[in-house]
Structures are given as structure tokens and as C-alpha cells.
Amino acid sequence: MSCCRCWWIWGLAHTGWLTAFCFFDKTGQRSKEYTDKQLATYGGAKNVAKRKRLVLGDIVYPVLEHERTPKGIVSVPVTVQDYGTGLEHKTTMVAGSVGMMPSSVESGGDLTRVQPRSGWWMLEDSVKPMGSS
């Protein structure tokens, strides 16, 4: 069973479980989605079967342009005040969907599946004594 499909419309487009998490674009607006009629018209009659959205069971996944897929990570400034050392750490926290973990159906078998992985990091931008400007 497939998890996604990709092809060219004006650019690369995809459908599948990933698009279920892309309801909003990076500006907070609803993501542009292609209708079945639009998919049938792009690229003429050639390869129309390849331009259908993915349906798994009763779930119909939207089709989105690859370049309009919102990022799966965010960053935010965080200040950490360490009263033990008297230091203030200016940091940037990064969190979100950061990669995929390959796996196999059978132990030692081919890596034919992927699982999304989430994570977070704090990156130190600067350090200074607490209370200094």
C-alpha cells in the first residue's frame, strides 16, 4: 500500500498521509488544494491515472503543490537564567518534524517503510552575567 504519490503539475505535487497535516499554509491560510477536475486537465490526457489523489480505505487525501507545503518545524527565542552560575543564556529552541526513521517489515529485511520523527534542540546564541545589559 502506498503512503504518497508525487508528480508534476506546474511543479512537484503530492498526496498522502503527509498532506493530512498541511491544512494551513505558512501564513495561516487554508492550503490550496487541487480538485479532481483540475488534476485531470493538467498535462493533457497523458498519465491522467497518475494524477489522482491517494485514497486509503475511506480516507481521501488532498493534493498539494510541493513548494506550498508548510514547514514542519518552528523556532522561538528562549532566555535561560541559571541562578546556580549567575549566567543568562540567550538561546533559540527549534522543534518539530525533523526527519524519518527507516524500518523493515521483517528483522534484517529491506528498509521499505519510514516513520516520522519529531525532536527539539536548544541552540545557544550568547551568554552573559545575569543583570548585565
The CA angle 26-28-31, to the nearest 5 degrees, is: 75
Residue 35 or residue 11, greater confidence? 35
- Mean pLDDT confidence for 31-58: 66
pLDDT of residue 93: 96
> Is 88 within 8 Å of 128 (Cβ atoms)?
yes
Provide the residue range defining the domain that includes 20.
Answer: 1-70
Give residue 77's pLDDT band: very low, low, confident or very high (50, 70, 90). very high
- Looking at 54, 70, 86, the residue that finishes a domain is 70
On whether both 19 and 78 belong to a single domain, the answer is no
Q: Are residues 41 and 95 in the same domain?
A: no
Asked whether residue 6 falls in the same domain as residue 60, the answer is yes
Most confidently modeled of 22-26, 56-60, 81-85, 109-113?
A: 81-85
Task: State how far the Cα of 96 lies from the Cα of 5, in Å rounded to an integer.
Answer: 23
Residue 56 and residue 4 in one domain? yes
**Helix, strand, or coil here: 125?**
strand
pLDDT of residue 89: 97
Q: Are residues 5 and 20 in the same domain?
A: yes
HSE of 91 in the Cβ direction (CA atoms, 13 Å)? Answer: 16
Residues 48-74 have pLDDT tens digits of: 455 567 777 887 777 777 777 777 888
